[in-house]
């Protein structure tokens, strides 16, 4: 696991009802994933200290230690963009560091993506913008689409490779 890698959270039965509901609902409203496959409920970026992550979460984006509690409630997988350079990793981290303490997009989550405040970020949009800042496009399109779901980050599996899982 290296700084700038993408962390994807798949809720276990012990996760909060909110995390489980997000994961269940996203593929059913066309936000990536499959009704028959595990669906993610959260994503983040590995920080320069691999025990920590940068994430957009309720109430604000933050620098956060990946805890044993997280590992208890989620299957946590780490993905790497194939061919990412050290300079691009640094740009991803710089974006994250410069965008701490931004409010989470509550409106987007509570309206299932129908309404959003484009200047606030849900977790997947935070990750997309961080990678965009390094010239890397994630998702299905040209990098300008709004990504509501962590599942949509993994759309291009030729460029994103799973490097590990944190559950042992």
We report the CATH number of the domain holding residue 78 as: 3.90.1720.10
Residue 31 lies in a domain: yes
Which range has the top average pLDDT, 46-50, 104-108, 123-127, 153-157? 46-50
Residue 40 lies in a domain: yes
- pTM value? 0.85
Predicted confidence at residue 150, as pLDDT, reads 80
Q: Residue 3 above 70 pLDDT?
A: yes
Which range has the top average pLDDT, 8-17, 28-37, 70-79, 83-92? 83-92
| Rounded average pLDDT over 98-127 | 69
Helices (H), the chain: 17-28, 68-73, 86-98, 106-110, 123-132, 150-153
Predicted confidence at residue 5, as pLDDT, reads 96
Residue 50 lies in a domain: yes
Residue 12 lies in a domain: yes
Q: Residue 141 above 70 pLDDT?
A: no
Predicted confidence at residue 45, as pLDDT, reads 96
Question: Tokens in use for 43?
Answer: 């994503």
User: Directed axis angle between helix 123-132 and helix 86-98, to 10°?
Assistant: 130
Domain containing residue 93: 6-165
Residue 58 lies in a domain: yes
What is the number of structural domains in the chain? 1
Predicted confidence at residue 138, as pLDDT, reads 81
Predicted confidence at residue 137, as pLDDT, reads 83
Contact assessment for residue 92 and residue 131, using Cβ atoms and an 8 Å cutoff: yes
Residue 1 lies in a domain: no
8-40 residue pLDDT tens = 999 999 998 888 887 887 777 666 655 555 788
* Residues β-bridged to residue 46: 53
Q: Residue 89 above 90 pLDDT?
A: yes
| Phi/psi at 26 (5° precision) | -55, -50
Residue 114 lies in a domain: yes
Residue 66 lies in a domain: yes
């Amino acid at each position: 696991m290296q700084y700038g890698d993408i962390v994807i959270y798949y809720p276990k039965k012990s996760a909060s009802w909110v995390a489980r509901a997000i994961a269940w609902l996203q593929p059913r409203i066309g936000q990536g994933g499959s009704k028959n496959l595990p669906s993610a409920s959260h994503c983040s970026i590995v920080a320069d200290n691999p025990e920590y992550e940068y994430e957009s979460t309720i109430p604000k984006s933050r620098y956060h230690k990946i805890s044993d509690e997280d590992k208890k409630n989620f299957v946590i997988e780490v993905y790497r963009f194939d061919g990412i350079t050290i300079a691009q990793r640094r740009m991803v981290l710089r974006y994250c560091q410069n965008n701490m303490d931004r409010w989470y997009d509550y409106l987007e989550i509570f309206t299932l993506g129908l309404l959003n405040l484009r200047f606030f970020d849900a977790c997947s949009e935070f990750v997309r913008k961080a990678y965009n800042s390094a010239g890397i496009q994630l998702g299905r399109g040209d990098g300008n689409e709004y990504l509501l779901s962590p599942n949509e980050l993994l759309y291009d599996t030729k460029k994103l490779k799973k490097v590990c899982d944190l559950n042992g």
